[in-house]
């Protein structure tokens, strides 16, 4: 699939970006860098930016973290346009997309647990850092098995990727990228057995539905972009594919990625320790210029 051919945000369409935190914890320095870049892109384009709380998983997301995220964003000066959007209020949309994928023969029910998959397929570091294990092709269920299911609950659902196909895209910062399905990434989850839509599905339904013209997010989601391009195609949303811009991850002095669990890097911990928005942006700049601000 060559997405260079796809209509990517024609100039007549006004810029619309998004800030999309998952409220499973407090925002940290890495979030500030990514969201700052997204905000700068939208403002430089004279466009809009919406806030979308990705709170689809009720086991992991807490209202307190959503409130804290909004407060931290305001403190940083990252203001959004319109009312916040909440994934938890959009279940029907995701369900409609699940039905469409089932009817189209794109997905299959899968009884393998994440643990089993992790044990069978260790993470590899190839051209793209794999952030999830490659689902073994031998464990696939035929997509025909999906027809018997009225609702997704009770089992995991995976998208069957076209083995060997290069799912290419042009990244606004990194240039042309060519991940290969079946090697760089495998069959991925679209719905979880506890009846929660998976990130890849929810984000495509939302980015298309919210009219997003450019997605700015961290480079840990590069392979997700190829997965999501397959979903745009399967859902007949090729005309809604946004541009993509993956920002470099913040690293510590020894070059390691900052861990989200490092509580000292939570923005509110830094604030309590005396940081101001200015010192936060300076610290991010020391890591390299904010990608959204480079011409
Ligand atoms: N919700 C994701 C996060 O907080 C970002 C997803 C995206 O930008 O597509 O890391």
Residue 4 within a domain: no
Show the domain range for 277.
12-89+250-295
Residues 6+ apart with CB under 8 A from 147: 102
Taking the centre of ligand 1 as the mean of its atom positions, its distance from the CA of residue 138, in whole angstroms, is: 30
Name the band, by pLDDT with cuts 50, 70 and 90, for residue 126: confident
Same domain, 154 and 173: yes
Q: What one-character-per-residue DSSP string does 26-67 give?
A: --BHHHHHHHHHHHHHHHHTT-EEEEEE----TTT--HHHHH
**Cβ neighbours of 235 (radius 10 Å):** 19
Mean pLDDT computed over every residue of the chain: 91
* 227 in the same domain as 119: yes
Query: Is the same domain home to 124 and 234?
Result: yes
CB 46 within 8 A of CB 286: no
Residue 226 falls inside a structural domain? yes
Q: Which of 18, 19, 20, 210 to mutate to test the pocket of ligand 1 (most atoms within 8 A of CB)?
A: 20
Residue spans of alpha helices (H) in the chain: 29-44, 63-76, 91-104, 114-120, 199-209, 222-234, 267-272, 277-286
Measuring from each residue's beta carbon to the nearest atom of ligand 1, which residues come in under 6 Å? Answer: 20-22, 54, 203, 217, 221
Same domain as 76, residue 43 = yes
The whole-number average pLDDT for the span 226-233 is 98
Question: In terms of domains, do 141 and 33 share one?
Answer: no
Q: Is 1 a member of any domain?
A: no
Q: Are 53 and 90 in contact (CB under 8 A)?
A: no
Q: Could you count the other beta carbons within 10 Å of the beta carbon of residue 262?
A: 13
Question: What integer pLDDT is reported at residue 155 of this predicted model?
Answer: 96
Residue 5 lies in a domain: no
- What does the pLDDT read at residue 293? 42
Report the predicted TM-score, pTM, of the whole model to 2 decimal places: 0.91
C-alpha–C-alpha distance, residues 6 and 150, integer Å: 33
The CA dihedral of 172, 176, 181, 187, to the nearest 10 degrees, is -10
In a domain, 233, yes or no: yes
- 54 and 77, same domain (yes or no): yes
Same domain, 77 and 98: no
Does residue 234 share a domain with residue 140? yes
Residue 114 falls within a domain, yes or no?
Answer: yes
pLDDT at position 49 over 80: yes
Into how many domains does the chain fold?
A: 2
Strands 48-53 vs 16-19: parallel, antiparallel or unpaired: parallel
Residue 54 and residue 230: Cα distance in Å, rounded? Answer: 21
Residue 7 located in a structural domain: no
Tell me the best of 203, 206, 224, 243 to mutate to test the pocket of ligand 1, counting ligand atoms within 8 Å of each CB and taking the most: 203
Token code pair at residue 273: 């320790």
Position 44 in a domain: yes
Measured CA to CA, the distance from residue 229 to residue 235 in angstroms comes to 10
Ligand 1, atom 5: nearest CA belongs to which residue? 20
Q: Are residues 229 and 119 in the same domain?
A: yes
Ligand 1 atom with the shortest distance to the CA of 215: 8
What's the pLDDT at 288?
A: 61
pLDDT in tens, 206-218: 999 999 999 999 9
Q: Could you tell me if 63 and 194 lie in one domain?
A: no
At 131, which CATH number? Answer: 3.40.50.620
Residues 96 and 181 in one domain: yes
Q: Where is mean pLDDT largest: 99-108, 110-119, 243-252?
A: 99-108
Whether 158 contacts 132, CB under 8 Å: no
| Same domain, yes or no: 97 and 225 | yes
Q: What is the pLDDT of residues 66-105, one digit of tens each?
A: 999 999 999 999 999 999 999 999 999 999 999 999 999 9
What's the pLDDT score for residue 6? 52
């Amino acid at each position: 699939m060559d997405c260079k051919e796809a209509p990517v945000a024609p100039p007549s369409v006004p810029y619309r970006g998004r800030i999309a935190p998952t409220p499973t914890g407090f925002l940290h320095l890495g979030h500030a860098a990514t969201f700052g870049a997204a905000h700068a892109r939208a403002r430089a384009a004279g466009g809009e930016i919406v806030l979308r709380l990705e709170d689809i998983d009720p086991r992991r997301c807490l209202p307190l973290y959503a409130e804290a995220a909004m407060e931290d964003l305001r403190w940083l000066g990252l203001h959004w346009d319109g009312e916040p959007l909440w994934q938890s209020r959009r279940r029907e949309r995701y369900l409609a997309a699940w039905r469409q994928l089932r009817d189209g023969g794109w997905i299959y029910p899968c009884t393998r647990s994440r643990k089993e998959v992790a044990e069978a397929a260790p993470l590899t570091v190839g051209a793209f850092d794999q952030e999830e294990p490659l689902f073994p092709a031998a464990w696939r269920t035929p997509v025909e098995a999906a027809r018997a299911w009225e609702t997704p609950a009770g089992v995991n659902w995976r998208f069957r990727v076209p083995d060997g196909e290069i799912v290419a895209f042009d990244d606004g910062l990194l240039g042309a990228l060519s991940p290969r399905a079946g090697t760089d990434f495998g069959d991925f989850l679209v719905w979880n057995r506890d009846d929660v839509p998976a990130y890849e599905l929810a984000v495509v339904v939302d980015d298309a539905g919210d009219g997003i013209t450019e997605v700015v997010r961290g480079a840990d989601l590069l392979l997700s972009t190829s997965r999501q391009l397959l979903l745009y195609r399967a859902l007949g949303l090729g005309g809604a594919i946004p541009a993509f811009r993956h920002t470099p991850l913040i690293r510590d002095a020894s070059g390691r990625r900052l861990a989200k669990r490092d509580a000292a890097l939570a923005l509110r911990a830094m604030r309590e320790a005396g940081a101001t928005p200015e010192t936060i942006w300076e610290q991010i700049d020391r890591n390299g210029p904010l990608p959204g601000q480079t011409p």
